[in-house]
Amino acid sequence: MRAGATGVTSALATFDGAPTTTNPDAALLAAHVAGDPNAFATLVHRHQDRLWAVALRMMRNPHDAADALQDAYVAAFRRAAGFRGEAQVSTWLHRIVVNACLDRLRQLQRRQREQPLPDDPERTAELAEPAEQSPVEQREVQRDLIEALAELNDDQRNALVVVDVEGYSVQEAADILGVPVGTVKSRCARGRVRLARLLRERGALIGREGET
pLDDT, one tens digit per residue, over 18-34 is 444 557 999 999 999 99
**What is the Cα 92 distance to its own chain's centre?**
12
> Comparing 189 with 178, which gets the higher pLDDT?
189
**Are 17 and 99 part of one and the same domain?**
yes
106 within 8 A of 150, measured Cβ to Cβ: yes
How much of the chain, in percent, has pLDDT values that exceed 70?
A: 72
Q: Of 92, 120, 148, which one is at a domain's C-terminal end?
A: 120
**What is the Cα 200 distance to its own chain's centre?**
23
Tell me the pLDDT tens digit for each residue of 58-82: 888 899 999 999 999 999 999 999 9
With CA atoms as reference, report the closest residue to 3 among 70, 51, 54, 58: 70
**Are 151 and 114 part of one and the same domain?**
no
* C-alpha distance from residue 63 to each of 60, 118, 142, 163 (Å): 9, 25, 19, 24
Cα gap 4→133, rounded to integer Å: 40
At a CB cut-off of 8 Å and minimum separation 6, what does 20 contact? Answer: none
> Comparing 190 with 120, which gets the higher pLDDT?
190
Cα gap 40→38, rounded to integer Å: 6
* Total domains in the fold of the chain: 2
Q: Of 120, 153, 179, which one is at a domain's C-terminal end?
A: 120
Q: Is residue 1 part of a domain?
A: no
Judged by average pLDDT, the poorest of 44-53, 69-78, 136-145, 172-181 is 136-145
Number of helices (H), then strands (E), belonging to the chain: the values are 10, 0
30 within 8 A of 19, measured Cβ to Cβ: no
Cα gap 78→82, rounded to integer Å: 9
Q: Is residue 170 part of a domain?
A: yes
Taking residues 34-46, report their average pLDDT. Answer: 95
Cα gap 157→148, rounded to integer Å: 10
Q: What is the pLDDT of residue 204?
A: 46
**Are 204 and 155 part of one and the same domain?**
yes
Q: Looking at the predicted structure, is the pLDDT value of residue 125 above 70?
A: no
Residue 73 identity: Y
**Are 82 and 13 part of one and the same domain?**
yes
Cα gap 198→193, rounded to integer Å: 9
Q: Looking at the predicted structure, is the pLDDT value of residue 39 above 50?
A: yes
CATH number of domain containing 166: 1.10.10.10
**Are 67 and 100 part of one and the same domain?**
yes
**Are 77 and 54 part of one and the same domain?**
yes
**Are 65 and 15 part of one and the same domain?**
yes
Q: Of 120, 146, 181, which one is at a domain's C-terminal end?
A: 120
Average pLDDT value for the chain: 79
Q: Exposure of 139 by Cβ count < 10 A (0-12 exposed, 13-18 middle, 19+ buried)? A: middle
86 within 8 A of 149, measured Cβ to Cβ: no
Give the structural domain span for 183: 133-212
Q: Is residue 128 part of a domain?
A: no
Q: Is residue 69 part of a domain?
A: yes
Q: Is residue 63 part of a domain?
A: yes
Q: What is the pLDDT of residue 124?
A: 39
Q: Is residue 3 part of a domain?
A: no
> Comparing 22 with 153, which gets the higher pLDDT?
153
* C-alpha distance from residue 181 to each of 173, 177, 188 (Å): 8, 10, 11
